[in-house]
Amino acid sequence: MKFICQSDNTAMEFVETVNSDDGGSMSIHFRCPTCGRGIAMVTNSGETQMVRSLGVTIGGAPSSEPMAMIRSALTGQSITGQSSDGAEPAWSEAALKRLAAAPVFVQGMIRRLYSDYAKQKGYAEITPAIMTEARDALGMSGM
């Protein structure tokens, strides 16, 4: 993705990434090398978490494994959400049905977000109600 300065049709250059104090959002700053105009792209907490979970580096050296989570989802891993040691919360049938409605290439990332949220809250099972709660808590209620 590139940002283009409308004044002189020049690609903006990355300046810096600034994380909020609470870690919930970040702003990514760009500047036109020709005219000096600047812009900032601001992410909400859900977008910030998604970028971090994908291993994407913004403005720095690329990650050695960018988007590893999406790649693992594409390899056909099970969507049960359970690890061999039982540490992962179980998924109700209704929650799995809701997860299956998402595009296949993002199901792994979605599963990880909800599993992490459920573990943090101490939930043993992920249900559609918990998915809605997590979505709202992560600032993704419009999605």
Give the residue numbers spanning the domain of 109: 65-137
Confidence at 36, pLDDT banded by 50, 70, 90: very high
Residues 88 and 115 sit within 8 Å (Cβ to Cβ): yes
Residue 131 domain-assigned (yes or no): yes
Q: Which of 4-8, 47-51, 100-104 has the lowest mean pLDDT?
A: 47-51
Q: Which residue has the tokens 């599993």?
A: 115
CA–CA gap between residue 51 and residue 45 (Å, rounded): 10
Percent pLDDT > 90 in the chain is: 29
Residue 44 domain-assigned (yes or no): no
* HSE (side-chain half, CA atoms, 13 Å) at 50: 16
**Per-residue pLDDT reduced to its tens digit, 5-19:** 999 999 999 898 888
- CATH assignment at residue 72: 1.10.8.550
b/e 89-105 (16+ beta carbons within 10 angstroms → b)? bbbbeebbebbeeeeee
The number of domains in the chain is: 1
CA–CA gap between residue 118 and residue 116 (Å, rounded): 5
Which pLDDT belongs to residue 75? Answer: 52
